[in-house]
A and B are shown apart, each in its own frame.
Chain A
Amino acid sequence: MHFQLAWRNIWRNPRRTAVIMTAIIIGVWSMIFLGALMRGISDGMVRNGIATLTGHIQVHHKGYRNDPVIENSMTDPEAVKTALKNALPADAQRASRVRVNAVASNARHTAGVTFVGIDPAREAGVSFIGRAVTEGRYLKDDDKYGIVVGKALVDKFETRLGHKIIVMSQDTNREIASRAFRIVGIFKAEMQATEKQFVFVTMQAAQRMLKMKNGISEISLLLPDAKEVDTVADSLRAALPSADYEVQTWRELLPLITAYLDIYDGFIFIWFIVVFIAMGFGIVNTTLMAVFERIREFGLFKALGMKPWWIIREVLAESFFILLIGAVIGNILSFLSVFALSGGIDLSSLAAGSEFAGMSRIIYPVINGRDVIAANLVVFVLGLLVSICPAVKAARLTPVEALTHT
């Protein structure tokens, strides 16, 4: 009966109810929609970071991260591979790489690059390079002198597909090793910095140039289920002797992005609270008004025997309905908006800015279940809490005072 009463009561003044509902609708919509945008940005950053060679987990020789030089390569990849086979889930992808700092040059230009020797087939399953080649072709297993470089590097070096490029680095004998490669493919990446930084050759070509025999610099792993990253990393650490190897997850390898994620979490929650406070004033005000113009009515109820607790319950039920409808419509609107923008928001006009901030050029809003639940909880719980005050006021009046109230 309370609910029936409450429902009819809120529609006794349609305009007032509609106005406060609109405030709630806009508030809830903004919470979820803007939250989805922010999640889209941070998700994009994580995805980009993982695809740009990081993968979910990496295995290195112990000193490699501090000093990514050729002395710190893993000279016995077979031992590592056996340990991996046991610790990894069935459909994890694995790719080994040679990865050293090098200098690339041609007749006109010189630049520092990261020289990466890959196993083309395996690498395609782990990082972005398999899909990223836009001109020419990807590497083949038997490419002795083929190299794949980024579009921005090609532009900077004023060169073209089919031309030569020389790569110089330090080999295992601490001598300078250099070799000429021919550009067989050009890749494009999310960020120009990636295109300028990485050059790819086959692992055998890199090992031969650097006289590494079978050594490799790192193994990168992509797991089918991102949530298992920490457990798999731990089992790997147990399997490999920690004196020689280190295992790291993407969170440890990309501390900047991890920091961003934490900040976004905090940001989104603060936004929820701020929006709620803005709505909260309206909710309190409206409930107060709804109660005070019906003081005589409540007086009558009490005189007829309605308990004070029932009055509170009734007022709270009214608030509940307004919050419910507002929140439902707000949720629906926000899902629709996110769906409408599922093609992504294009930031290309601000490309340099997004690159500076480490974001991708297209943002895909992502609805995060936790955010939706948090937003709705904030609205309902706090909304009901602030309605308690006017409700209690209504319940406290004695029938005589109430009935004589003008």
Chain B
Amino acid sequence: MSIDVKMAWRNIWRNPRRSILTISAIAFASLLLVFMLSWQFGSYETMIDSAVKIHTGHLQIQANGYNDKKGIRMVVPDPAAAGSILNKTPNIAAYTFRANAFSLVSSRERTYGIMVVGIDPVREAGVSALKKLIRQGSYLSEGDTDHALVGALLARNLKVGPGDELVVLGQGRDGSVAATVVRVKGIYRSGQDDFDRSSIHIPLENFQDVYAMRGAVHEVVALGKSLDDLKEIKKVVTAGIKKTDKKHRMVVLDWMELMPGLIEAIQMDIYSGFIFYLILIIVVAFSILNTFLMAIFERTREFGVLMAIGTTPGRLTRLLLIESTTLTMTGIIIGIIAGSLITLYFQDHGIVISGASEMMKQFGMPDRIYPRLSMLSASIGPGAVLIITFLTALYPAIKVRRLRPVKAMAGV
């Protein structure tokens, strides 16, 4: 066996230039795939992370149908019970309660229809990024009653700053008029225009009071310790809810169900990437097919001699496959190493795409892309290259079986 490997290695280097070109082609493809896949996975992570931390958390307990209709009457009536279920669930990093109502908010000069969100200031800081996004004034503290946090764009439109008053007018859970006056305590900017233009946050207790919630909330938002624990967490929480929720009015939704657009956009990106990469590998495969073919056809006499002295066709095929596999593996290993190094460099420094920073802000991402090297990203691409190149090399290697020693030795 090892003499086959030795022979294969020496055969490869009989024509150094050709072998180097082939190895380069394979290394190029592998490098590119490692880098691109790391880029894709890195950007997905960033997108999911940002979205989860600004809005939805990893998981939410809501009334069935609330996610679609957002009706004020679709409540989680016993938040404390939900809270105790979450307390017993492992791997939860934090959770909080929220209530929402669409209302009119008026400053001295302007009126807008926006979403009033009741939050628990202490818990919220552990679940979402809201506290860190405060640009003016300060965040809500535990004892606050009639203070509010206002999005930067909304504050500009309403022409208010910290200390100014806002009148809030809406409809309560029981249909009564919900009205109150709040004072702007802080102004936040998330970078997502939609979010900054259309919401204010007030303390949950005040919300429940003003909107006659009778202690209920609309969303119980939970953040897991990491994205990987999500499935487990969801199972445990769903089981817990089923036990206490006799009328089946609660559901447990994960971020994929809360933001189906995000996961589908990621899927689209993966599919389209897949098509591009496949085409690339096929082009490379055809490029190097000629190398493999040539390597065989210029050695017909040699094979004839080998067969004449007793090499079986099977062994010959195996020899050729070892040759091509060695070429391929060398290329792949170089490609993986080079690709990983490049990826790691950009993982640290980030990639700035001029012109894309506007777009990124809207999706809540930082303005640089950080590729993420992982076992997956470093192996899928080169793995595909390996398989396709192996199939490519199969064709010439099998053709060799048909050689007849005498004819072969007589030369081409």
> Which of A15, A22, A34, A353 interacts with B261 by CB under 8 Å?
A353
Chain A, Cβ-Cβ closest to B359:
A259
Known: A275-B280, A353-B263. A285 touches B102 (CB 8 A): no
| A170 contacts across to B, CB distance below 8 A | 110-111
Decide yes or no whether A281 CB sits under 8 A from chain B. yes
Which residues in A have their C-beta under 8 angstroms from that of B111? 169-170, 176
| Nearest chain A CB to B74 CB, angstrom units | 11
Q: How far is the CB of A191 from chain B (nearest CB, A)?
A: 11
- Chain A residues lying within 8 Å of B179, measured Cβ to Cβ, are none
CB neighbours (8 Å) of B353 from chain A are 263, 266
Q: Which one of A255, A274, A282, A351 lies within 8 Å of B287 (CB-CB)?
A: A282
B28: nearest chain-A partner, CB-CB: A277
For residues 101 through 121 of chain B, which have their beta carbon under 8 Å from a beta carbon of chain A? 102-104, 109-114
Check A274–B290 contact: CB distance below 8 A: no
A174 close to chain B: CB less than 8 A: yes
The reply on A357 being an interface residue by CB < 8 A is yes
Q: Are B110 and A30 in touch, CB under 8 angstroms? A: no
| Complex interface: chain B residues within 8 A of A69 (CB) | 110, 157
Say whether B241 faces chain A, with CB atoms less than 8 Å apart.
no
Q: Which residues of B contact A293 (CB under 8 A)?
A: 298
Determine the chain B residues whose CB is within 8 A of the CB of A352 once the complex forms: 260-261, 264
Least CB distance from B114 to A in Å reads: 7
B114 touches A112 (CB 8 A): yes
Say whether A101 faces chain B, with CB atoms less than 8 Å apart. yes
A101 CA to B111 CA in the complex, in Å?
Answer: 9
Interface flag for A262 (CB, 8 Å): yes
Binds A, one of B17-25, B132-140, B219-227, B318-326: B17-25
> Which residue, of A19, A274, A347, has the highest number of chain B Cβ atoms within 10 A?
A19
Bound Cα distance A279, B279 (Å): 11
Tell whether, in the assembled complex, residue B113 and residue A101 are in contact, meaning their CB atoms are under 8 Å apart: yes
In the complex, which residues of chain A have a beta carbon less than 8 angstroms from the beta carbon of B28? 277-278, 281
Count, chain A residues at interface, CB 8 A: 59
Instruction: Let me know if B104 and A168 touch, CB within 8 A.
Output: yes
Q: Is the CB of A353 within 8 A of B358?
A: no
What A residues does B182 contact at CB under 8 A?
none
For B, the interface residue count at a CB cutoff of 8 angstroms equals 58
Q: Which residue of B lies closest to A255 (CB)?
A: B358
B306-328 contact mask (Cβ, 8 Å, vs A): 1 or 0: 00000000000000000000000
A50 CB to nearest B CB, Å: 19
* Chain A residue with Cβ nearest B51: A356
| B23-46 interface (Cβ within 8 A of A) | 24-25, 28-29, 32
Chain A residues contacting B22 (CB-CB under 8 Å) are 281, 285
Also in contact, A110 and B102, with CB within 8 A (given A19-B286, A156-B69, A285-B288)? yes
Interface of B is mostly: helix
A residues 330-376 in Cβ contact with B at 8 Å: 347, 350-357
Q: Bound complex: CA of A284 vs CA of B22, how far in Å?
A: 10
Q: Mark A7-21, 1 if CB is under 8 A from B, else 0.
A: 000000001100110
Report which of B104, B268, B290 forms a contact with A285, defined as CB distance below 8 A.
B290
User: Which B residues touch A285, using CB under 8 A?
Assistant: 18, 21-22, 287-288, 290-291
CB interface residues, B 258-297, toward A, < 8 Å: 259-268, 275-276, 279-280, 282-284, 286-291, 293-294
Question: Given A255-B358, A352-B260, does the pair A289, B102 have CB atoms closer than 8 Å?
Answer: no
17 extra interchain contacts, Cβ-Cβ under 8 A, other than A112-B112, A259-B359, A350-B264? Answer: A20-B286, A26-B283, A102-B113, A103-B104, A112-B102, A169-B111, A176-B111, A255-B358, A277-B28, A278-B28, A282-B290, A285-B22, A285-B287, A351-B264, A352-B260, A354-B264, A357-B261
Chain A residues in contact with chain B, CB under 8 A? 15-16, 19-20, 22-23, 26-27, 30, 34, 67, 69, 101-103, 108-112, 156, 158, 168-170, 174, 176, 255-256, 259-260, 262-263, 266, 271, 274-275, 277-286, 288-289, 293, 347, 350-357
Q: Would you mind naming 24 contact pairs between A and B with Cβ atoms under 8 Å apart?
A: A23-B287, A26-B282, A67-B157, A111-B113, A156-B68, A168-B113, A256-B362, A263-B353, A263-B359, A266-B353, A271-B276, A275-B280, A277-B28, A278-B28, A278-B29, A279-B283, A282-B290, A285-B18, A288-B18, A293-B298, A351-B264, A356-B259, A356-B265, A357-B261
